[in-house]
Chains A and B, each alone.
Chain A
Amino acid sequence: MTREKIDARGAFCPGPLMELIAKLKLVNVGDEIEILSSDKGSANDIPEWVKKVHHEMVGISQQDGYWSIVVRKAK
């Protein structure tokens, strides 16, 4: 299992989601991606997307002015 990081701070919806999905295509099942987003909409939307397409949320935490969202590729 590896964990990759994407810094999408400063990008507006749906930019962070698109960056996450592009990266998910490149990693293996079981790998995790941590995406940093300063966009509140994306912090809400990314977990919704993960649920909809059946990947896994590992966690989400609010940092100083941004969110850290960790997703595991499930399929």
Chain B
Amino acid sequence: MASNTLYILLCSGEHEKIQMAAMMASVAAVSERPVEVFVSMNAINAFAKGAPADKRYYGGAYSKLLKEKKAPDAMMLFQQGRELGDLKLWACSMALDVQGWELDKLEDGLFDDALGLTKFLSDAENGQFVTL
């Protein structure tokens, strides 16, 4: 595993943290840096298939401003990062289990697969790790 890989653990469902994760992941990926994002806890809800924008993004004082100014949609940024760079997204298998969800409950084409935390941590041992 390349040592410059950026690993992002996204667990907050707050809009501004999801936005920051999407910005970091997409910009790093298009800047020739491999990125892996592990989505767990409340953050997984933002990735539910077909969720309306007001349900998908909420919380945090910045959310209102991000919506008013029409900041780039976080799901679209993740998608662009995947298309234009080396970006992988993993859905935490525990978070899926506690919701009783399978991968097909999440937005199509965003996730590589479900993954356990043990494997993600092991892969991330030599990279840079960010938690949001």
Contacts and interface: CB of A to CB of B under 8 A. Distances in A.
B16 to A, nearest CB: 13
Contacts of A12: 69-72
28 contacts: A12-B70, A12-B71, A12-B72, A13-B23, A14-B23, A14-B27, A14-B72, A14-B77, A15-B71, A17-B30, A18-B26, A18-B30, A18-B72, A18-B77, A18-B80, A21-B30, A21-B84, A22-B80, A22-B83, A22-B84, A25-B84, A45-B27, A49-B27, A49-B30, A49-B31, A52-B31, A53-B30, A53-B31
B30 A15 contact: no
Interface of A: 10-15, 17-18, 21-22, 25, 45, 49, 52-53
Contacts, number: 37
Contacts of B113: none
B1 to A, nearest CB: 21
Interface in B62-109: 69-72, 77, 80, 83-84
